[in-house]
Copies of this chain bind each other. A is one copy, B any other.
């Protein structure tokens, strides 16, 4: 798995190939864990020793996304990108209507992987090579499949790191999203034999040449900057620009619970105060993706024309987010890139830092080698913006 492109190609029809008709039992010899689960009737989740390199996991609960989901997403995060807000605006620039927010697609696909991949996770360690591959509209039915591409037991032998490449597909079987994430997963039995260590080589960033599949050619001349809320386009941003997004957004328990249930993400730490109150933090942990969505919505103030997330190069949930905290964010332009063969949009590679209870006017990041204690998210991603 040294080359993620190979994975990409291999996966290109994965959803379609395994789409319908097989029962869990037919996974056969692959899954000790899953057969155990089946016998117990309830899902206790896979443990580290249940994963096998090359194993393909079709995730449960396909989901038809509706304008109702969009409304709830809007109510929870308050995004203001005109493309996703107005069917009329979308049509003028060349979309059939408003596409779904990229992160709503991400969260729904991600949510499906949780019961199979990270129910027994200690920590969500990272994302890489996340590419949005197709524009998605209300009415689409999303499903997800993952391949185990890396396994590495930790020296404690109590946990191990699982790398999966997950893909979200729509009802036609076409991929809409593809990404790698790695999580630290508990072992059921410390004495269990560990599989041979295999760590995938992951790209540091998605190349600009791979961007834009989920963005149809737009009519940049018809893109109305006044309605969009800002005049700044591709050419107005320069590598090294730092932008304080100014606004702050406080998170409530009900909000993150509603969001995370909407994605059918079942990770227990988000919902179960009874259990969490006995845990080290003593409270519910907010799904990391909630911080990403808040940072993205806040980033409108300064990046209002960056209407599409084309890829996520990497991300780190530096510190947990808890209800009651107010999230702020700032961004740095890491790189600006034209898209090969396209003069309608360009790409900005951004690093967005989100903090808890700390305004970002002075662009907090690290002091010495360590993150500023207020930093909760460090996200590296590509956005598209009209030229």
Please list the residues of chain A having a beta carbon within 8 angstroms of any beta carbon in chain B: 20-25, 27, 38, 41-44, 58, 60-64, 66-72, 74-78, 80, 82, 85-89, 92, 97-98, 115, 141, 143, 171, 222, 224-232, 236, 241, 243-250, 252-255, 257-262, 264, 266, 268, 271-275, 284, 301-304, 324, 326, 328, 357-359
Contacts and interface: CB of A to CB of B under 8 A. Distances in A.
Contact of A62 (B227, B260, B275): B227
A22 B255 contact: no
Contacts of A266: 78, 80, 247
A357 B226 contact: no
19 contacts: A20-B222, A41-B303, A42-B245, A43-B230, A61-B228, A62-B82, A62-B85, A62-B89, A63-B85, A71-B72, A75-B262, A77-B261, A86-B141, A88-B141, A143-B227, A250-B257, A252-B253, A254-B255, A274-B357
A334 to B, nearest CB: 16
A247 B261 contact: no
A260 B140 CA distance: 28
B226 A247 contact: no
A232 B41 contact: yes
Nearest to A272: B248
Given A21-B222, A42-B243, A68-B70, A264 B62 contact: no
A64 B137 CA distance: 14
Contact of A301 (B21, B43, B98, B301): B43
A259 B80 contact: no
Contact of A224 (B22, B88, B236): B22
B273 A250 contact: yes
Contacts of A41: 230, 232, 236, 241, 243, 302-303
